Structure 1
Amino acid sequence: MNLNQDDTALPLAGLTVLDFSQFLAGPSCALRMADLGADVIKVERPDGGDLCRQLVLADQKVGGDSALFHTINRNKRSFAADLKDPADLEHVTALVARADVMIHNFRPGVMERLGLDFAAVQQLNPRMVYAAVTGYGEAGPWRGKPGQDLLVQSLSGMAWLSGQGGDDAPPVPAGLSVVDMMTGAHLLQGILALLVRRGITGRGGRVDASLLETALDLQFEPFTAFLNGDGEAPRRSRVNHANVHAAAPYGIYRTADGFLALAMAPMDELARLVESPRLAELAADRASWYRERDTLKQALQDHLRSRSTQHWLAQLEPAGIWCADVLTWSRLLEHPGFAVLDMVQPLSGRAAGMKTTRCPLRIDRQVLRSPRPAPAIGEHTQEILRELGLGPAREGSVA
């Protein structure tokens, strides 16, 4: 069964969400609400719409918009409005008066100038849950700085947690927009908490999330150790680095034909299982597992190159060692462990033929999926105006 065949069965059915946000953090939050049954209306400029529409990744475009735009904005409706135009702003205000949630990621001060700040919206709709995303918060010297994932990874210290070659090696950012996506998840948590409170008290509220606070929260383990330590920065392994606080063997190792990931494991037991006398000698002192981790990891790396990944998995997995093959996406797609999840879904309409991931949640043990693609700019403007009982959009606007 596909729960989206009956949207009324979804937990957020009946909620209206206004998504004023662009790029990733805000739209990813709104996407998850759409997956859970909310009617998400994407409010965007008639001229160009969300800037993410033109963001090209690997030269992929679908229906005139970037593949990323379709991925993060599927299952939404689009309402085209120029917020600087009084007539359009009046229509948006009518939407705000009836909606349950609104999400925006404008820079601090923009919504105040438009008359859509929290205080104004609360007067118009006391039950509104108002959600705002910023790069660095509402105050401070970075207030007006672009809130972009790579910049935040860099400013927050996160990029210094990764990279091979020890402390002399350059910083390495994550290979995906992890701060953006996690900020969207944090924002969703706050929205849902306020919706629960609204169900009890009847009043709305405001939730704020910033990329910088999310980046710091993601680093809570090593950052807490730093705050309570001697003031020295965490040290990266010179050999197969994967975590600043993990002892050997934590890391990814080259084998004769590929790679092997090893998580927490007792080094003396690991040495016995891989039959390495040299490693066994080095691992005899438990205190060395962290203190001399580079030496131990190098000895282990030299040994693991002698056999295939599957050979080592056959030795280690039955003994309870936490390890895994390191798959490319091509190999992942061929694996039954991936197939059983049924994570890929096709889109329809103007994105027909495009595949993307489905919602990762299951509700009442049922998979959530929706083939509805991201909308064209203003695709649903007239439809939404009719629902509001208002006249047609102004001449020249998108239908």
Structure 2
Amino acid sequence: MKPLEGLTVLEFSQFMAAPTAGLRLADLGARVIKIERPVKGEAGRQIAIRNIFVDGSSLVFHTINRNKESYSADLKNPEDLAMVKKLIEQADIITHNFRPGVMEKIGLDYDAVRAINPRIVYGVVTGYGNKGPWALRPGQDLLIQSLSGLAYLSDTADAGPVPFGLATADMICGAHFVQGLLAGLLKRNKTNSSVLVEVSLLESTLDLQFEVITTYLNDGGQLPKRSNVRGSGHAYLSAPYGIYKTLNGYLSLAMGNLHQIGEAVGVDLTSYEDKNSWFERRDEIMQLLGEKIAHKTSSEWVSSLEAQGIWCAEVLTYEQTLQHEGYLAQGLKQEVTLPDGGKLSTTRCPIRINGERLYSDKAAPRPGADTDIINRQFNLS
């Protein structure tokens, strides 16, 4: 039995952050029901990566919404809204990520919903919270990265702002949302009363940077100092931390004693006695290391350096990673079965419970696919 079996989650959410939280709750055993508009479903069904669609919905929608059910309802239709309210009476959690004011207009804001169900855990994802000059702006990942300072942490000093190649804000916000919802369930079970859980993309992305923002706040307002050498791994860390070109690929070096690493690589770095110089003179140290590292293969360096207790790794592509025994040993890949009987390869939940990996072969539903059975099971009509 999975830990959240018996819980019912109503997901009024769309796109990525909040549905990612719903995915994790479903993986852990909750029954997650997407409340979607008739026919077309939620807007995220049409947001595609590389324009890939599967079974009428985008591939990215499938990655986020597997293992869920879909209930079709027009929330502007009084009859549909009345049935949704009956469903809310029997739910444990509802989530939404509409802009401030939208659920109030529908009549499903927190106060209205807790009047329907006094034990509900009511979860809200916003872009920037409910107040302030940004409150009504689009809560989109790249925009959040841009406004949060995150884009000035990667690449070289002359590169300008560089966004992450992932929906970073959405993913971390979804993780925070799950944490808040689970904490809300614990509080509800102690108090037998409703709980409001709120997260925002901006706050989550700022929290993701808590180490470096705290450094900025306590270091005289010194901005992140990216290296001029390509491959530097962190704007706030000293040499040798970064990625170096080898004879046939790339090698990453993590933190460690610079003198030991220099000796292992074959570069005399003893003149850099003061550890402060390992940061202040980071570029020249990395160049010295890089010139030497370029003359051997990645595997030769890993074999040599690991034997001396130095933290390092080859830099792998997806093709190399997904064929490596280190990846295969995790059992991370799973297949889900599409409504037409086809198969879709994806990843499983990364959490293990009592040593058991959590798999599910249920694909994302078609819009409204489960409406009739939910109506019967919850006595809605």
Provide the TM-score with structure 2 as the length reference.
Answer: 0.97
Residue in structure 1 matching 2:239, options 227, 248, 265? 248
Asked if the contact 2:240–2:254 (Cα under 8 Å) also holds between the matched residues in 1, the reply is yes
SS at match of 2:196: strand
Q: Which residue of 2 aligns with 1:383?
A: 373
1:287 is displaced (CA, Å) by 2.9
1:348 is displaced (CA, Å) by 0.7
CA distance in 2, matches of 1:287, 1:58: 45
Which whole-Å deviations, capped at 9, do the CAs of 1:265-319 have from their partners, x for residues lacking one?
1111011101123xx2543443311110111011111111111101111111111
Query: Which range moved further: 74-83 or 284-293?
Result: 284-293
Matched, 1:323 2:315: no
Question: Residue type of the partner of 1:315?
Answer: S
Residue in structure 2 matching 1:80, options 72, 94, 100? 72
Q: What value does the CA root-mean-square deviation take over the aligned residues?
A: 1.1
Tell me how many residue pairs correspond in the alignment: 379
Q: Which residue of 2 aligns with 1:45?
A: 37
Which whole-Å deviations, capped at 9, do the CAs of 1:55-74 have from their partners, x for residues lacking one?
22123211111111111000
Query: Which range moved further: 48-57 or 253-262?
Result: 48-57
Residue in structure 1 matching 2:149, options 157, 179, 188? 157
CA distance in 2, matches of 1:281, 1:227: 33
Which whole-Å deviations, capped at 9, do the CAs of 1:139-176 have from their partners, x for residues lacking one?
11111110011100000001011122x1x321111110
Which whole-Å deviations, capped at 9, do the CAs of 1:327-357 have from their partners, x for residues lacking one?
1011111111001101010011326221000
Asked if the contact 2:152–2:224 (Cα under 8 Å) also holds between the matched residues in 1, the reply is no
Asked if the contact 2:86–2:380 (Cα under 8 Å) also holds between the matched residues in 1, the reply is no
Asked if the contact 2:55–2:338 (Cα under 8 Å) also holds between the matched residues in 1, the reply is no
Matched, 1:207 2:179: no
Q: Which residue of 2 aligns with 1:338?
A: 327
SS at match of 1:162: coil
SS at match of 2:275: coil
1:204 is displaced (CA, Å) by 2.0
Matched, 1:260 2:251: yes
1:199 is displaced (CA, Å) by 1.6
Pairwise mapping of residues 278-317 of structure 1 onto structure 2 (< 5 A)? 280-317=269-306
Asked if the contact 1:21–1:105 (Cα under 8 Å) also holds between the matched residues in 2, the reply is yes
Question: Residue type of the partner of 2:210?
Answer: F
Pairwise mapping of residues 188-207 of structure 1 onto structure 2 (< 5 A)? 188-207=178-197
SS at match of 2:330: coil
CA distance in 2, matches of 1:269, 1:175: 34
SS at match of 1:154: helix
Q: Which residue of 2 aligns with 1:356?
A: 346
CA distance in 2, matches of 1:223, 1:284: 28
Matched, 1:229 2:204: no
Asked if the contact 1:346–1:352 (Cα under 8 Å) also holds between the matched residues in 2, the reply is no
Question: Residue type of the partner of 1:158?
Answer: L
CA distance in 2, matches of 1:255, 1:285: 28
Matched, 1:36 2:38: no
Question: Residue type of the partner of 2:77?
Answer: D
CA distance in 2, matches of 1:390, 1:61: 33
Q: Which residue of 1 aligns with 2:4?
A: 12
Identity rate, percent: 48
Which whole-Å deviations, capped at 9, do the CAs of 1:24-75 have from their partners, x for residues lacking one?
1100101111111111000011142111211221232111111111110000
Q: Which residue of 2 aligns with 1:70?
A: 62
Asked if the contact 2:10–2:88 (Cα under 8 Å) also holds between the matched residues in 1, the reply is yes
CA distance in 1, matches of 2:51, 2:343: 17
Question: Residue type of the partner of 1:268?
Answer: H
Residue in structure 1 matching 2:264, options 263, 273, 277? 273
Q: Which residue of 2 aligns with 1:4?
A: none
Asked if the contact 1:346–1:371 (Cα under 8 Å) also holds between the matched residues in 2, the reply is yes
Which whole-Å deviations, capped at 9, do the CAs of 1:104-138 have from their partners, x for residues lacking one?
00000001111100011111111000000000000
CA distance in 2, matches of 1:120, 1:59: 39
Residue in structure 2 matching 1:106, options 95, 98, 103? 98
Which whole-Å deviations, capped at 9, do the CAs of 1:339-398 have from their partners, x for residues lacking one?
11010100113262210000101111101010000000000011111112233xxxxxxx
CA distance in 2, matches of 1:32, 1:286: 43
Pairwise mapping of residues 362-381 of structure 1 onto structure 2 (< 5 A)? 362-381=352-371
Query: Which residues of structure 1 form unaligned runs of 5+?
Result: 1-8, 392-399
CA distance in 2, matches of 1:282, 1:172: 34
SS at match of 1:334: coil
Q: Which residue of 2 aligns with 1:57?
A: 49
Residue in structure 2 matching 1:173, options 163, 179, 203? 163
Matched, 1:136 2:125: no
Which whole-Å deviations, capped at 9, do the CAs of 1:177-228 have from their partners, x for residues lacking one?
1110110110111111111112222112011000000011011111111112
Asked if the contact 1:282–1:296 (Cα under 8 Å) also holds between the matched residues in 2, the reply is no
